[in-house]
Amino acid sequence: MTDQSVLISEQDLSAFIVGVLNAAGVPPADGKIVADCLLMANLSGVDSHGVVRLAHYLRRLENGTINPQPDITFKQTAPSLGYVDGGDGLGHVVGYHAATRAMDLARTAGTGGISVGNSSHYGMAGFYAIRMAEEGFIGLSMTATDRFLVPFGARKAFFGTNPICFGFPTDGIPVLLDMATSSIPYGKVALAAAEGQSIPDTWALDAEGNPTTDPNAVAGLHPVAGPKGSGLAMVIDIFCSILAGMPWGPHINQMYAEMGGRRELGHFLMAIDVARFMPLATFKKNLAEMLTEFTSLEPATGFDRVYYPGQIEGLRRQQRRADGIPVDLGLAEELAGLGARFGVPFPG
């Protein structure tokens, strides 16, 4: 919370999001799924994937490139596999249904793998993995995105920053490794641009494939760990795009630059039933012992403690649920404008 932001409760923001989406033709139940996903990001401190995206989704709903009431279909292709066609709906709703199908299959077959096609931006990958972990499953969630990652050894962007997430059940904050395949999040570039600051020349490349210190000239980001991140981005695109029969790499509709076209995004989600290996309580006990030992490690110079993946975000969710979600004043003004246009009062 700063003097440039306002605190709003999760409940109030959720009601606002649902109300605005409903006014745009999205059924209330689907709007609640979108609100839950966006606010999971805000609560976790991943504000780049939170309510700041609402205006964009509304623009696509209004221009018809996202269907507010999609016909989401499911075809089971094997005892533990299936395909979800999202009908060009909101990706959060499509992803939620895919996670449900993955868990249904896993309850019967032990695992459930779902290929998803004809979807759109599905928000924070961790939203689906957390949901599966809270149900006692190991959850896997990944999505293809439009090109912005420059493959190792190349000069031009080819893949998206393709995120991948693993979630593991605990009796407290789930273990959640939620990562993009770029070496830095684009949010750092955007922040530097907004503040008029330069960036290190190791962060990104310009349109000619040269290192740049100008955040406004960035046309692509480097992959994390060089060839490893580059290869992982390709693997994610194979799972999410090729396997789903969707456009891949540079052929994916650009989220902001190509507003007139359908997104045609693919995702891949999987649930693994821990109880098929050992009692869930035993798994959680063993994992708790690992986490206790891990977080007891002596911190390095400059660090106050050692956190496990997802722990910082989980602690932030607890704090923000109690104190409210900080919304930048500029964003609050934009949301208030949306509310006025759709007849839904903004709570800020």
Q: Return the SS3 of 77.
A: strand
- What is the DSSP code string of 188-237? HHHHHHHHT----TTSEE-TTS-B-S-GGG--EEPBTTTHHHHHHHHHHH
Q: What crossing angle do the helices spanning 126-134 and 91-109 adopt, rounded to 10°?
A: 30
CA–centroid distance for 39 within its chain? 11
Looking at residue 88, its amino acid is D
Q: Do 83 and 75 form a contact (C-beta atoms < 8 A)?
A: yes
Sequence-ordered list of residues with C-beta below 8 angstroms from that of 323, at least 6 positions apart, any chain: 1, 7
Q: Hunting for tokens 């293809």 — which residue is that? A: 144
Active site residue 121: yes
Give which of 117, 158, 124 is closest to 141, Cα–Cα: 124
Catalytic residue among 49, 97, 121, 267: 121
3-state SS of 263-314? Answer: CCEEEEEEEEEHHHCCCHHHHHHHHHHHHHHHHCCCCCCCCCCCCCCCHHHH
* Phi, psi of 336, rounded to the nearest 5 degrees: -60, -35
Sequence-ordered list of residues with C-beta below 8 angstroms from that of 191, at least 6 positions apart, any chain: none
Catalytic amino acids? 121
